[in-house]
Structure 1
Amino acid sequence: MIKVFKIALFFALMLCTTVQLYAQTTIAIKNGEKWFGGAVNDAHLMPFADGYSLNMYGDTRGNQAAPLLVSTKGRFIWSEEPFKFTFQKNSLVISDVKGALVIDSAGKNLREAFKNAAKRFFPSKNKLPDTFLFSKPQYNTWIELVYNQNQKDILNYAHAIIDNGFPPGVIMIDDNWADYYGRFDFRADRFSNATAMVDTLHSLGFKVMLWVSPFVSPDTEVFRELLDKKLLLFDNGGDTTKTWAKADKPAIISWWNGYSSVMDFTNPEAITWFRGRLDHMVNTYHLDGFKFDAGDADFYPATALSYKKATPNEHSRLWAELGLFYPLNEYRAMWKMGGQPLVQRLRDKKHNWEDLQKLIPHLTTAGLLGYQFTCPDMIGGGEYGSFIGKDKLDEQLVVRSAQCSALMPMMQFSVAPWRVLSKPSLAAVKKAVEIRAKYTPYIMQLVKASAASGEPIARSMEYEFPNQGFANAQGQFMLGSKYLVAPMVATGNTKTVFLPKGTWQNDLGKKVKGPAKIEIEVAADRLPVFELLKN
């Protein structure tokens, strides 16, 4: 009996190896093995090809990331700290490791690799974000108003949503609602009565979120208060021996809106202060939640001094923890918070077909990193720079973007479809919303199940149908285990769909036997969906 136990222990250790802080670890890639993970914003480059390299220390590619790699052969690599990984011919090279490295070979496929990693390192907390984010569309004021957020136009936007036949949902008031960053009150020159505005939005059936960031505008009243209390990140002035206790100069961070100081959430008093301001906004203006923007690891200099020593990635993770106090939340940058009831939106995409084609691989890869409560970017694109100078948007792109989002865990509008589309195109977008409503009960079942199991809601084909040749499939995804969703993500009206083994029925009622590669015609208002009737 003792001998049998020793043999079992030996094989268990062989399947899961913890490597200590070696300068470099080289892992031989198995025949046919494909790898995913690291940074969501590079998911269109996955499975990784020879030559790909990323050092995750201070670089999460402007979106969700995690110190996790998973393979189609059931292996996963995890560390509590960021590391660098490089694919060189038939090897995966791990270097610049800051913590113990776990290499696990217990699984047989991509799904088992994910589940084994999640169970050990980021088990789902069986808690949900506000389910209104899933059950109804979301509407962000960004593309319509950009930096001119104001009471009149926000109310006009909300009324237009309803007047044009769209259902009310979550409305997100974006950046530049305050006098400056760090001040938590609506600016009086644009909001005559913000509380009344929010109350009106509630009466129309909306819940209201507000954009916030960890930045504080320098040389302001709030900045001076936080500096005096040492609740900001500090600059070491080039002196690597300087301690936080002796620091007196705040770190000034360059970001997309200029230069600001940034909160130091390693300090419990900073968390208390910031939560106090958020709660003030909720209590005073009747807000329902917050869009937590920025917080990217690369906004925290490695040389900065904080109350407690932390990597740039850890600073990013601490920003994420604030969202746990507000069920109606959204994040765009994230580090090592898999399994938590936090909503993850893909980073801003441009108004072009190339970026539309990234939505599926990016969203499904977020699920592989433990971020199951995912939202694609704004329909038609959320990168406002790509809208500048465009007299006319690509109507087909907006329609196909809406269809691509319709059966993802969430769908979010920003550019007003009724403003930029012709009547036929607008009707097609509204039909996509109606399609979502039809599948919403199933989506809500998946959301609740995902909170318990941690499994993705939107899944890659390889995840749901391992070892059937789907590792490179980026134009379709599974909604749970029942529906294959194959939206048009390119110009034209012809789509190639790859069906796994089983009997499938498409959205037009036709049955198809898989495995099969089929060419289908996709009308302007059609979202192809295939229901798995029998494995």
Structure 2
Amino acid sequence: MLIKHLPCGLSPYYDCGYQRTPHYPLKNEKVEINCRIEHLPENADVFIQWTLDGMEQERIKGTRFSRENDDRAYFSFNLGPFDQPVHVTYKIIAKASDAEISTKEYSFDVLTRIELTKPELAGESENSIWAVYKYGENYYSIEAAIQNNLLRLSSHSGQKPAAINALKKTNGYEYKNDEGYSVKVSENPFGICISKDGEEIIEISEKNMALALDVDAAGNVYKVGQTFRMQGKGFYGFGEKFDRINQKGLAPKAFVVEKFTNQQDKTYIPMPFFFTEKGYGFYRDTSYRSDFFLNPVESTDLVDVRIESLCRKSGLLFEDYIFLGKPSFVIKEFHKLTGAPALPPRWTFGPWISANGWNTQSEAQEQIEQLNFHSIPATVMVLEAWSDEETFYIFNDAKYELGDGGKSFKFEDFTFEQQCKWPDLKAFTGMLEENNIKLILWQIPVIKYIEGNKDNQLFNDESYVIKNKYCIMNDDGTPYRITDNWFNNSLVLDFTNPEAVEWWFKKREYLLTQLNVAGFKTDGGEFIYDSSARFYNGKDVEEMHNLYPNLYVGAYNDFLKKHLGEGNGVTFSRAGFTGAQKYPIHWAGDQLSTYSELRGQLTAGISAGLSGILFWSFDIGGFAGEFPTTELYIRSVEFAAFCPIMQFHSEPRSGQFFLTEREHWINDRSPWNMARVNKDNRILEQYRKYANIRMNLIPYLIEEASNCVNVSRPMMAHLIYDYPEDENVINIDDEYMLGRALLVAPVIKEGQTERSIYLPEGEWYDFWTGERIDGGKAIMYPCALDRIPVFVKGGSLIPVNLNEHYIMGETDKTGFVGNNTDEYANLCFLVYGEGECSIKTVGSESTIKVRAVGSKIDIECSPEIDADKVTLIFAGDNYKVQDVIVNGGKAVTQPITAKVFGRAVPGYAVKLG
């Protein structure tokens, strides 16, 4: 028998069947305790043994209940309600004729909700306004301080704050700036009013928005709640959201969740952060779960934003930051508080290839051969099924002598027989290098549980980890094991323990130093469930659940930096939390091959960007389920080609939703396999076209990525970022700017051959035809299956890399430009009206600056330039050039004709030297 009970449950989004509800009960709330018992004998007696404030109570017999599609034994016990703040302990016991088992002892405190309405003391101290409340013998305070367009609100509990002794009575405080912002803080009653150009945009008042605390009998705080009345039609951020970009009227939660497909309101990367079009943003600096309720006030643009957060029992309860400025200012200031974004390596911006089924050297090499045969570029290969599926650091089929758990292997410790899955890894990695393809390997932060496991390296590692407490531990000193679902019963590495981190990466060091691995796909990290688990740093799961993915991914980033140098390696991660921008890149996780999931992926990418995650990706054609149709596959290829990162991937061949018949056993979402499965060569042609366009755009993508990092701009930016004063963009949810120059409008509806597109004020050019279009309006745009709507902002010069024939955008092999991102075949600039562009040359600090003014183009090179020429291509309609100047002198030019998306486009090859 095994009793499973998890007081906090697996997720706030669903009932797992063996949780306590509510987790933290209030007075007069009924408490339901549920459990699941596996291998329960017939006629077993199941009951709960419990105490109330230390006094034994009559045991309660469990009531059995069933769950849909689940034949396991579930039991429920009802306690309470309790009309006083009491302390309860309990354990669940199952007794059969020949055996008896029991859970460990659990406990909870019945809480009282108090609302702080009238401060005992209020005043100014050291440039802050304080309000101090007293309940029983405990003090609770709110401090408000503002500096440089940043308002900080913090709340503490416990002893009377020392600063209160120096409080000075004032008539409140007012802050004003030259941008039209006013912040008024009143003392008694305590309140805050923020205005922009005379319009009130945020109000916090005691009258109807009192600070609410859930406290136990001793005054310890478990949850804090507060309501802000805010102006705004659009509420953006909250992390990577799949349900809607504008979260107004919804209830997002800041809680990391592992959800396989159909994520809807759940997310792998939540953040307690948002902003509106009204010129402000909000961030709650906590890793505890926070729930937001965005309740619109009828017939107004007001929203009552209710925030409820778990918190430390005493000391700092919460710390909020309100940013006063446009979205660009808000995200930049948010990054200043949570960590500067990092720039991925150049090679990450080319196409990636991946599939869970590539588990042998021959199959992996076959993909490279297919790329070359079809003239399809790729710069990254991701291998998921490369390892022994036990240690996740040893290649499958490797022969070696077992070592104790502390041993770190080198490549020469392994032998590979000719008939094994990876007979010649050096030859394989050499093949990748010859083709300018980087290798990324899949990882998971667990010591895997396998029933009956012994006499192997995994068993030795597991024993060593438990002995040295390198895994997360329970509060009773036993090792924490994943409670349910994916990697059930496995140990989880504790990344707060420096010795554990060193042990973990010593075992993986040879992958970087001897096999030229360039990065890791850092999957998972969402499975820290049990509130009784404790980390090496002393913190509990409530504080660490959301932080764990960042700790895990951050440790891998440090490992890569140590061995490959700054900016040379990368992680590709599913989960994260506030600060995830420090560890690029992230992808959208697991989705089905459906249009609704493609819609969710677009929403996720845009909302992730609005939450400060600059570099994001998704699985072309979907990860799981039935194969995508030709139309769905091509539409997702088009979208991916104009995303920060372009990659395809697929589920294991055994299937999680779709166990394929033998003919379709190879379920890769590669274009050659999809063309085979769907018997449609258009898939190959369109993938080749868009993958080559992707490689053509590498100079633009790299330059824009660098700018994004420098100014904290999302590489995939919702139009509200650049046009916050344009009310037309507030609820647009299917357009974005890729960098500063390209407006992208993916086609995400089945059968759609035209769509409405809003172009903000200004001059725009059709990327495909060069046609000039005036903005400030919506247009209907035809979008045949081979074309995604893309527009170039007027005045843009787009740096591109074209092959020797100056061909861009063909479906055949003539547009191939190769895989090399370290040098360009022909650095060209697509000119769309008057404007300028600067680009750093590859491998040096030299800069080429191109400026188009009137009929003249100026090119400045500084300092010396390695390249001997650049090419100007006049891609926009009606732009004529008479003079080209290089470093102040008339340039030597040679007329050329480029073939751009089937058009013959004139240009000049310009000699630089």
The TM-score normalised by the length of structure 1 is: 0.87
> Amino acid of the residue matched to residue 792 of structure 2?
E
> Amino acid of the residue matched to residue 198 of structure 1?
T
| Residue in 2 that maps onto 1:239 | none
**Distance change >3 Å, CA 182–CA 523, structure 1 → 2:** closer
| Residue in 1 that maps onto 2:291 | 84
Q: Aligned partners of 2:445, 2:392: CA distance in 1, in Å?
A: 8
> Amino acid of the residue matched to residue 409 of structure 1?
P
Q: Tell me if 1:166 matches 2:395.
A: no
Q: Tell me if 1:500 matches 2:760.
A: yes
- Contact preservation (8 Å) 1:432, 1:525: no
**Distance change >3 Å, CA 186–CA 517, structure 1 → 2:** same
**Distance change >3 Å, CA 291–CA 527, structure 1 → 2:** same
Q: Aligned partners of 1:171, 1:184: CA distance in 2, in Å?
A: 18
Alpha-carbon shift at residue 359 of structure 1 (Å):
2.7
> Amino acid of the residue matched to residue 138 of structure 1?
W
**Distance change >3 Å, CA 181–CA 36, structure 1 → 2:** farther
Q: Aligned partners of 2:258, 2:574: CA distance in 1, in Å?
A: 14
| Residue in 1 that maps onto 2:422 | 191
Q: What SS class does the counterpart of residue 254 from structure 1 fall into?
A: coil
**Distance change >3 Å, CA 266–CA 510, structure 1 → 2:** same
- Contact preservation (8 Å) 1:252, 1:261: yes
Q: Aligned partners of 2:491, 2:267: CA distance in 1, in Å?
A: 19
Normalized per residue, the structure richer in strand is 2
What are the Cα deviations for residues 160-219 of structure 1, in whole angstroms up to 9, with x where unaligned? 122122113100001462241455343335322333322222223311110011011234
| Residue in 1 that maps onto 2:745 | 486
| Residue in 2 that maps onto 1:331 | 573
**Distance change >3 Å, CA 95–CA 364, structure 1 → 2:** same
**Distance change >3 Å, CA 77–CA 6, structure 1 → 2:** closer
> Amino acid of the residue matched to residue 789 of structure 2?
P
| Residue in 2 that maps onto 1:123 | 340
| Residue in 1 that maps onto 2:230 | 29
Alpha-carbon shift at residue 356 of structure 1 (Å):
1.1
| Mapping 1:231-250, distance limit 5 Å | 231-236=470-475, 242=476, 247-250=477-480
- Contact preservation (8 Å) 1:84, 1:97: no
- Contact preservation (8 Å) 2:745, 2:790: yes
Q: What SS class does the counterpart of residue 301 from structure 1 fall into?
A: coil
**Distance change >3 Å, CA 436–CA 294, structure 1 → 2:** same
> Amino acid of the residue matched to residue 602 of structure 2?
I
Choose the corresponding residue for 1:112, options 329, 347, 367. Answer: 329
Alpha-carbon shift at residue 10 of structure 1 (Å):
8.1
| Residue in 1 that maps onto 2:634 | 399
Bigger radius of gyration among the two: 2
Q: Aligned partners of 2:485, 2:386: CA distance in 1, in Å?
A: 15
Q: Aligned partners of 2:758, 2:778: CA distance in 1, in Å?
A: 5
**Distance change >3 Å, CA 57–CA 486, structure 1 → 2:** closer
**Distance change >3 Å, CA 69–CA 353, structure 1 → 2:** same
Alpha-carbon shift at residue 51 of structure 1 (Å):
4.1
- Contact preservation (8 Å) 1:62, 1:332: no
Q: Tell me if 1:531 matches 2:770.
A: no
| Residue in 1 that maps onto 2:516 | 286
Choose the corresponding residue for 1:18, options 140, 147, 153. Answer: 153
The TM-score normalised by the length of structure 2 is: 0.52
Q: Aligned partners of 1:436, 1:179: CA distance in 2, in Å?
A: 34
What 5-or-longer segments of structure 2 have no aligned partner? 1-125, 129-143, 157-212, 214-223, 260-265, 297-302, 312-316, 399-419, 454-458, 561-568, 650-668, 797-913
Q: What SS class does the counterpart of residue 308 from structure 1 fall into?
A: coil
- Contact preservation (8 Å) 1:302, 1:312: no
**Distance change >3 Å, CA 451–CA 17, structure 1 → 2:** closer
**Distance change >3 Å, CA 152–CA 299, structure 1 → 2:** farther
Choose the corresponding residue for 1:137, options 340, 351, 354. Answer: 351
What are the Cα deviations for residues 60-101 of structure 1, in whole angstroms up to 9, with x where unaligned? 945223332222222222313232211223311111243523
Q: Tell me if 1:456 matches 2:752.
A: no
Alpha-carbon shift at residue 523 of structure 1 (Å):
1.9
| Residue in 1 that maps onto 2:528 | 299
- Contact preservation (8 Å) 1:58, 1:313: no
| Residue in 2 that maps onto 1:443 | 701
| Residue in 2 that maps onto 1:516 | 777
- Contact preservation (8 Å) 2:275, 2:330: yes
CA RMSD, 1 decimal: 2.6
**Distance change >3 Å, CA 187–CA 369, structure 1 → 2:** farther
> Amino acid of the residue matched to residue 115 of structure 1?
K
| Residue in 1 that maps onto 2:731 | 472
- Contact preservation (8 Å) 1:292, 1:332: yes
- Contact preservation (8 Å) 1:499, 1:515: yes
- Contact preservation (8 Å) 2:571, 2:584: yes
- Contact preservation (8 Å) 2:387, 2:393: no
Choose the corresponding residue for 2:433, options 177, 202, 205. Answer: 202
Q: Tell me if 1:340 matches 2:582.
A: yes
> Amino acid of the residue matched to residue 497 of structure 1?
I
Q: What SS class does the counterpart of residue 473 from structure 1 fall into?
A: coil
Q: Aligned partners of 1:397, 1:192: CA distance in 2, in Å?
A: 38
- Contact preservation (8 Å) 2:145, 2:152: no
- Identify which range, 148-157 or 409-418, moves more after superposition: 148-157
| Residue in 1 that maps onto 2:245 | 46
Q: Aligned partners of 1:324, 1:488: CA distance in 2, in Å?
A: 35
Which structure has more RCO (C-alpha within 8 Å, separation ≥ 6)? 1
What 5-or-longer segments of structure 1 have no aligned partner? 237-241
Q: Aligned partners of 1:203, 1:15: CA distance in 2, in Å?
A: 51
> Amino acid of the residue matched to residue 303 of structure 1?
S
Alpha-carbon shift at residue 11 of structure 1 (Å):
6.9
| Residue in 1 that maps onto 2:620 | 379
Alpha-carbon shift at residue 403 of structure 1 (Å):
0.3
What are the Cα deviations for residues 421-478 of structure 1, in whole angstroms up to 9, with x where unaligned? 2122321222112222332211110111122222111100111211312122121110
Alpha-carbon shift at residue 6 of structure 1 (Å):
8.5
